[in-house]
């Protein structure tokens, strides 16, 4: 079984499936995808991801505020986040983190919000899903400062091996997306070869970043199989082995996910 460990089901372009999320999920299941983690990015979509987790037994969700979805000058309220995390299908915090590519002027606000999410992780024991772009030093510094008792994941990883190694040393997992299939992703493929088998996750980040051969089209959860089929020979294992390893890793990192209960 494969798991799409990071997708935005409330944002999918469903035109390839007649506008039907049911059909899109059925297509993914037909390709061996047995579970989906639907990611929260803002206070506005928290209700939507929770509703999807209630609608589908093989969908769990997360709640958090993406660094590029912060309201100007506003740090999310800790009480709000903790209340949202009480939902039985919210298995993790985020996505959160730092992104200095588009909004470097908001770096301090992003750091404050990231610290708040990490505080929620300390208080609840739930893992944190980290987005990082052009903020390597600050991301690692804040993770070291938090010294979380439980692991988290650097999702849609795009950095180099030293960054990956530093995150692994902090107990974090590394999740790879369709970016690893892109022609100019040699450094990322080197990371993909070296991540320990017990720390690797795979994802689509759908509807973004569709892997080759679908690049340029809206991404869909079914394409997590394409990521797995690309990574398996790169790592010298069978696709079924990679699927089993990454599924076990998902279950270990997200013990509240209902994939454990079927």
Tally of domains in the chain: 1
| Domain with 26 in it | 2-261
pLDDT attached to residue 261: 46
Q: What is the domain-level CATH number for residue 241? A: 3.20.20.140
Q: What is the pLDDT of residues 137-156, one digit of tens each?
A: 999 999 999 999 888 999 99
> What pTM was computed for the model?
0.97
Q: What is the pLDDT of residues 167-178, one digit of tens each?
A: 999 999 999 999
Confidence of residue 135 (pLDDT cuts 50, 70, 90): very high
pLDDT attached to residue 38: 98
Q: Distances in Å between the alpha carbon of 209 and those of 19, 156, 203?
A: 20, 9, 10
Average pLDDT over residues 35-43: 98
Q: What is the mean pLDDT of the chain?
A: 96
Question: Is the pLDDT score of 110 beyond 60?
Answer: yes
Scored b (16 or more CB within 10 A) or e, 201-222 reads: bbbbbbbebbbeebeeebbbbb
């Amino acid at each position: 079984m494969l798991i799409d460990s990071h997708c935005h089901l409330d944002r999918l372009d469903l035109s390839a499936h007649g506008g039907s999320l049911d059909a899109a999920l059925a297509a993914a299941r037909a390709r061996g995808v047995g579970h989906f983690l639907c990611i929260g990015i803002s206070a506005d979509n928290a209700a939507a991801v929770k509703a999807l987790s209630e609608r589908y037994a093989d969908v769990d969700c997360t709640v958090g505020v993406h660094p590029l979805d912060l309201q100007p000058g506003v740090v999310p309220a800790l009480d709000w986040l903790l209340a949202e995390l009480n939902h039985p299908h919210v298995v993790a915090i985020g996505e959160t983190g730092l992104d200095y590519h588009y909004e470097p002027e908001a770096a301090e606000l992003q750091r404050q919000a990231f610290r708040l999410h990490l505080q929620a992780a300390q208080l609840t024991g739930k893992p944190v899903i980290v987005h990082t772009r052009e903020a390597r030093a600050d991301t690692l510094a804040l993770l070291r400062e938090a010294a979380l008792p439980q692991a988290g994941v650097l999702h849609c990883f795009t950095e180099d091996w030293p960054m990956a190694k530093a995150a692994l040393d902090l107990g974090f997992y590394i999740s790879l997306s369709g970016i690893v299939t892109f022609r100019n992703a040699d450094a990322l493929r080197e990371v993909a070869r070296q991540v320990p088998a017990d720390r690797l996750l795979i994802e689509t980040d759908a509807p973004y970043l569709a892997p080759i051969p679908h690049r340029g089209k809206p991404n869909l959860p079914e394409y997590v199989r394409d990521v797995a089929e690309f990574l398996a020979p790169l790592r010298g294992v069978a696709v079924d082995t990679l699927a089993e390893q990454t599924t076990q890793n998902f279950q270990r990192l997200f013990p509240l996910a209902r994939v454990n209960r079927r």
